[in-house]
Amino acid sequence: MTTIMLAPNGGRRLPAEHAAIPVTIAQSTACAVAGAAAGADAIHVHLRDAEGGHLLDAGGYGELIAEIGRAAPGMAVQITTEAIGRYGPAEQMQVVRDTKPDFASCALRELCADEGAALRFYAEMAEAGVGIQHILYTADDIRRYRGMVEGGHLARDGAVIFVVGTYPDGGGALPRQLADYVALLGDAAAEWMVCAFGAGESRVLAAAMAMGGHARVGFENSLQMADGSVAADNAARVREVADLRRALGLTGGGAARALGAR
């Protein structure tokens, strides 16, 4: 099964850039409902503060998870721990402990600024049943992750997400970069997913699914359709990738494993 995860807002883009970028819990919940109808199996959520800034908050996450659970039952909800210049590793790990979500995404390079604390956190989350998806931005991140697995510090049955290209326009994101990342990872993770910035998003995600990976799509990474036009909303981006999945003869689902559940 091939999972499509919707990432509708991220921590930077504001409605001034596109009116359909959600910044409230109600708007994110509505995105989840529309995304599920369009073919998404999961959603990667970010909270925003009153000024639209990036926010890590256990209470807000709990409310958003509950709202999506009611409105889009069966959709997996993954919280973010990304720093985005506002939070340190201790705060990032603590929000997961306080929220106790089913799934969380964690940037390896951010949490492993204190590798010992990060490894204790990963072990604690495995014991608590929280699925961790490790964000790997570069080849160096992948080498570090693989070394941690081969050294026995991380389980080999984990889940990762590759970041292809750079915010906001992609910076030349290409399927070839993805192929290099997959080769470098080898068998160090059971599941891998891809997000890609800019106009090449659909092309990179099609390559990922064809290679046996999972896809993350949405306005966090790109506002554009494959033809270069601006998408009407997040559901349009999901629908295009779901059509690609169908054209490849793949079926949806499997979100729990793709997001790090064991």
Question: pLDDT tens-digit profile of 204-246?
Answer: 999 999 999 999 999 999 999 999 999 999 999 999 999 999 9
**Which residue range forms the structural domain that includes residue 87?**
4-258
Average pLDDT over residues 163-173: 71
Per-residue pLDDT at 172 exceeds 80 = no
Task: Work out the burial of residue 251: count CB atoms within 10 Å of its CB; fewer than 13 is exposed, 13-18 middle, 19 or more buried.
Answer: exposed
CATH of the domain at 117: 3.20.20.70
pLDDT tens per residue, range 129-155: 999 999 999 999 999 999 999 999 999
pLDDT of residue 94: 98
**CA dist., res. 12 & res. 169, Å (int):** 13
pLDDT tens per residue, range 85-139: 999 999 999 999 999 999 999 999 999 999 999 999 999 999 999 999 999 999 9
Number of domains in the chain: 1
Average pLDDT over residues 25-44: 98
pLDDT of residue 147: 95
Torsion, Cα of 175, 181, 182, 184 (10° steps): 150
pLDDT tens per residue, range 40-86: 999 999 999 999 999 999 999 999 999 999 999 999 999 999 999 99
pTM (2 decimals)?
0.95
pLDDT tens per residue, range 10-19: 999 999 999 9
Per-residue pLDDT at 200 exceeds 90 = no
**CA dist., res. 38 & res. 239, Å (int):** 5
